[in-house]
């Protein structure tokens, strides 16, 4: 290790040892130990079992000594199998090549920002280690699936909250009849006229809305509607799972009512989830924080 170029704490050192196939036996650090910028690094490294080799002051002095010593490392350590060359200086590429030619497994350890790049020169495999997080940096391919799972969980959570909000709004509308018929600042004659005009406009809107909405009068019609919604969604997106909250949202679009209100009105239960659980036509499966619903094939 070029101690003037690269500093490794104990966690980084343990990670490097875990990358290798053989146990880490010998640790050697090169530096001008009289250099005040080194500080007390010599004491720390010595306490961690490093051999400290001193080099005189001068540009690339530590690199030159590493190359000279490393090129004949087999003379001092004839049983060595792997070697970690720890320096970000490009000149150490010559040492890596020489050690490979001598039949050793060579890892070139370099620092880039807050990461260590461990390059297995024999296989070309790159491993990355975050110095700030003290952990291995996962490859991009391995990160995609967890991110997709998080996005799916968040979407299901949002759908569940929206469905709950719809239920609350429906319940509020059922219990409270709010109709602002006039502005308190209007004269009495204008108030009466405003009431008539607003009532007429509202009656037209209500009529148009009712004509476009489907009415559920019994459990059989409800089951047919549920089956159609499930089949339509599966035909459009066969790989996507259908959550109970999404199913409830689709029912409200078609009927203008929340599914819980319909089920209570028909005296089929208290809510959509319990109704689906009790029905032989549908199956529920817990997925994260949500239930997934599927329909059994027709016989």
39: pLDDT confidence band, cut at 50, 70 and 90? confident
Q: What's the gap between Cα 213 and its chain centre?
A: 40
Measured distance CA(21)–CA(84) in Å, rounded: 12
- Asked if pLDDT for residue 196 goes beyond 50, the answer is no
pLDDT tier, 235 (very low <50, low <70, confident <90, very high otherwise): confident
Model confidence at 165, in pLDDT bands (50, 70, 90)?
A: confident
**pLDDT above 60 (res 204):** no
Q: Is the pLDDT of residue 85 over 90?
A: yes
If you average pLDDT over residues 276-289, what whole number do you get?
85
Give the percent of the chain with pLDDT over 90.
Answer: 34
* pLDDT cut 70: percent of the chain above it: 81
Which residues, including other chains, have CB under 8 Å from residue 109's CB and lie 6 or more apart?
6, 16, 84, 85, 86, 87, 116, 117, 118, 119
Report pLDDT for 181. 45
208 versus 99: the higher-pLDDT residue is 99
Q: What pLDDT does residue 92 have?
A: 94
- Residue 148 confidence class, pLDDT cut points 50, 70, 90: confident
pTM of the model: 0.47
Which of these, 296, 263, 287, 282, lies nearest to 159 by C-alpha position?
A: 287
Look over the chain and give the mean of its residue pLDDT values, rounded to a whole number: 82
What b/e readout covers 119-156, taking b as 16+ CB neighbours within 10 angstroms?
Answer: bbbeeeeebebbbeeeeeeeeeeeeeeeeeeeebeeeb
Distance of alpha carbon 8 from alpha carbon 16, whole angstroms: 10
Dig out the tokens for 114 from the structure: 């807050």
Closest CA to 240 of 152, 162, 141: 152
Q: Is the pLDDT of residue 158 over 60?
A: yes
Judge whether residue 173 has pLDDT over 60: yes
Cβ neighbours of residue 255 closer than 8 Å, sequence gap 6 or more = 213, 214, 215, 216, 225, 262
pLDDT of residue 206: 53
Least confident of 4-8, 25-29, 42-46, 140-144: 140-144
């Amino acid at each position: 290790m070029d101690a003037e170029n690269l500093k490794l704490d104990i966690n980084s050192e343990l990670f490097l040892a875990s990358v290798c196939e053989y146990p880490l036996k010998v640790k050697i650090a090169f530096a001008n130990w009289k250099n005040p910028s080194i500080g007390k690094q010599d004491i720390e490294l010595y306490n961690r079992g490093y051999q400290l080799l001193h080099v005189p002051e001068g540009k690339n002095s530590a690199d030159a000594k590493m190359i000279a010593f490393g090129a004949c490392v087999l003379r001092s350590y004839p049983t060595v199998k792997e070697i970690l060359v720890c320096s970000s200086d490009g000149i150490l590429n010559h040492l890596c090549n020489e050690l490979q030619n001598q039949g050793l497994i060579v890892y070139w350890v370099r620092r880039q920002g807050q990461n260590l790049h461990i390059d297995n020169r024999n296989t070309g495999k790159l491993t990355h280690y975050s110095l700030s997080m003290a952990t291995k940096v996962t490859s991009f391919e391995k990160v995609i699936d967890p991110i997709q799972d998080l996005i799916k969980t968040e979407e299901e959570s949002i759908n569940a909250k929206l469905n709950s909000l719809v239920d609350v709004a429906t319940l509020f509308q059922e219990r409270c009849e709010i109709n602002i018929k006039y502005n308190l600042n209007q004269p009495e004659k204008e108030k009466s006229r405003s009431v008539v005009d607003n009532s007429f406009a509202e009656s037209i809107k209500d009529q148009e809305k009712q004509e476009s909405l489907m009415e559920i009068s019994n459990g059989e019609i409800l089951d047919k509607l549920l089956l159609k919604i499930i089949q339509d969604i599966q035909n459009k997106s066969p790989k996507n799972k259908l959550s109970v909250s999404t199913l409830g949202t689709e029912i409200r679009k078609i009927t203008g009512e929340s599914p819980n209100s319909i089920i209570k009105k028909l005296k089929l239960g208290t809510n959509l989830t319990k109704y689906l659980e009790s029905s032989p036509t549908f199956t529920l499966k817990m997925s994260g924080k949500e239930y997934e619903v599927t329909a059994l094939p027709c016989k």
